[in-house]
Amino acid sequence: MRAILSVYDKTGIVDFARGLEALGFELFSTGGTEGLLRDAGINVRGVQELTGFPEMLGGRVKTLHPAVHGGILALRDDPGHLEELARHDLKPIDLIASNLYPFLSVARDSGARLPLALENIDIGGHTLLRAAAKNFPSVLPVCNPRDYERVLEELGRADGVGLDMRRRLAAKAFQHCAIYDTHVATYLRPHDEIFPNEYTVALSKIADMRSGENPHQLAAFYAEASPRPRPAGLATAIQLHGKAPSFNNTFDADLAWQAVSDFTSICVAIMKHGNLCGLSLGDSVADAFRKALATDPQTAFGSAVAANRVLDDEAAHEIAAVFFEDLVAPDYTREALQVLQRKADLRVFATHADQGTRGPDGAGPMPGEFDYKRLMGGFLVQTRDALPEQSFTPKVMTTRQPALAELTSLYFAWRAVKHVTSNGVVLARGLALVGFGSGQPSRQDAVDLACRKAGERAQGSVLASDGFFPFPDAVERAADAGVTAIIQPGGSSRDPELIRVANRHGIAMIFTGERHYRH
C-alpha cells in the first residue's frame, strides 16, 4: 500500500506516519512534511521518486503529475485501468493526507497585498484531496488531523476501512475544498459585485445545541469564515461562564448585541423573543441598565442583556439582581466576573469588540455585511439596514418645530426602532425607551401597545415608527397618550391629513424619507 503525506498543518502527522509505516504503507511526501518525517526517523521518500521529475516553479508544481494522479484515480475493479498503470510502470496510491495552505489567515493579514494572497492559494494539495475523494471506495482522503487516530484504527481491522467511513472522509474532503474555494472567491470578488449569480457562504461549526427553537428540532451554531472583516458578535464571542448556549437565547443575545452596537454612547439593550424590550443610553453601564430595565421590568425577566462597554462590578451587581439568561459585553472587570459567576443560570459572553464603534447596523466598518432570510428551497439576501450618523435630512412637516431635547430623543428613538419587529413603534423620554409596540400587523395596534406599555410615562414622550402611518388614528392615539413629537418615514397618501391632526394637537412631526422594517 502507498500513501502520500503532504500537509501544511503538521499536527499529529509524525504519529500518523509512524502508524501507517507500522501497517506496511510505503510513504511519499513533499517539502517540509518530508523533512519533518525524515528528522523523526520515518522511512519516507520524496514524491519526485514517484514522478521522476523534480519540484519546479519554486514548489508550485510538486504532485501535479500522471504518476501521482493516475495512481489515485485508477479504478481498482477496472482491468483496463490496472493494465494501463502497469504499462507505465505505475502503482496505485491508497491514501492521501493533505490539508491546505492557510489562505484565509494570510488574506486577512495581507489586506490588499494580492501577490502574497495568490501565492497561498493551494493547488497541489487541493487536487490531491479531490482526486482521492472522487475515488474514495479505493483511496482514503484524510484532510483533518483529528481523523488520524480513527483512520489508523480502521486500517488495522481485518476487513479494513468500511465504505461508510470512506464516504464520510470523502464528503469531508470535498467540503474542506469547497470552503477553501469560497474563501478565495470571496477575496477575489470585486466589492461592487454585491450579488453574484453564484454564491457560497463558508461556515464552521461552533457547537451543537441542545435543540432548536423547540425541543423536537435539532440545531447547531455556525460562524461565518471570510477573508473580509466580520463584525464582532456571538459567533466570535468567548463564553466566560454558564451552561451551553441554547438556540433561542443565543439569537436574542446576538440581537441585543446588534442593538447596542448601533450606538457609540454607553448603551444597554434587553431583548426577548427577537424583540427589544429595553434600551437606554447612560452615564455608566449601571445607569444605562437601570433605565433599560425600567422600560418593561416584567418582560425583561429571563431575557438577554447586552452592553457596549466593559462591565464593572456596579453594573454586575445590578444585573445579577434580576434573572437573565444571557449577558454580552466587550469584556468584564475581574470583580464583575466574580459577581456574575455566582449566577449558575447566566451565560456570560465577551465579544472583545472595540468599544463605542458601530457595527454593521450603524455607520459601520462593515457596510457589505449581509442579512439572510431562509425560505423554502432558497434564501433572501440583503445588505444590512445600516443607519449612518447623517443618513437622512430631517424634514419638519408640522407648524411646530421640535425642541432640542425632543430632537435628541427623536434621533435616539429612530435608531432604536430599527431593532423591533414590524410593524414597530417605540416611545422614548430622554435617551431611554419607555414603551414599545412590535410585530403588529396593524400600525394602529403597535401605537396602542407602545402607549399602554409606557402608561403615564407616555406623557411628554416622543414616538418613532419604522414605517409610515396609513391612517391618522394612530397619531390621534399618540396625542391622547401625551406624545409631543413623532419621527416617521412619511410617504402615505394621507400624509396631509396626518399633518393636520398633528398640528391640531401641537405635535411636532419629522419625516425621514426612509423606513426601517424588520421581519
Residue positions annotated with a catalytic role: 134, 273
User: Using CA atoms, how far apart are residues 452 and 457, in angstroms rounded to an integer?
Assistant: 10
Q: Who's near 239: CB < 8 A, 6+ residues apart?
A: 245, 347, 348, 349
Give, in order, the Cα–Cα distances in Å from 426 to each of 318, 339, 439. Answer: 25, 33, 12
Q: Work out the burial of residue 38: count CB atoms within 10 Å of its CB; fewer than 13 is exposed, 13-18 middle, 19 or more buried.
A: middle
Is 467 in a helix, a strand, or coil?
coil
Q: Work out the burial of residue 456: count CB atoms within 10 Å of its CB; fewer than 13 is exposed, 13-18 middle, 19 or more buried.
A: exposed
Q: Work out the burial of residue 174: count CB atoms within 10 Å of its CB; fewer than 13 is exposed, 13-18 middle, 19 or more buried.
A: middle
Residue 313 near residue 340, CB atoms below 8 Å: no
| Type of residue numbered 473 | D
Is 240 in a helix, a strand, or coil?
strand
Least Cα distance to 379 among 388, 370, 387 occurs for 370
Residue 395 near residue 510, CB atoms below 8 Å: yes
Q: Where do we find the cell 435539532?
A: 218
DSSP codes, 45-75:
EETHHHHSS--BGGGTBSS-SHHHHHHHH--
| Type of residue numbered 269 | A
Grid coordinates belonging to 182: 469560497
**Residue count (the chain):** 519
Residue 324 near residue 347, CB atoms below 8 Å: no
The percent of the chain in helix, strand and coil, each rounded to the nearest 5, is: 40, 20, 40
Q: Where do we find the cell 456570560?
A: 348
User: Using CA atoms, how far apart are residues 498 and 55, in angstroms rounded to an integer?
Assistant: 77
Phi/psi for 70 (5° steps) reads -65, -40
User: Using CA atoms, how far apart are residues 145 and 9, in angstroms rounded to an integer?
Assistant: 8
Q: Who's near 3: CB < 8 A, 6+ residues apart?
A: 20, 25, 26, 27, 28, 93, 94, 95, 96, 97
Residue 254 near residue 419, CB atoms below 8 Å: no
User: Using CA atoms, how far apart are residues 246 and 349, in angstroms rounded to an integer?
Assistant: 13
Grid coordinates belonging to 375: 425560505
Q: How many helices (H) and strands (E) does the chain have?
A: 19, 21
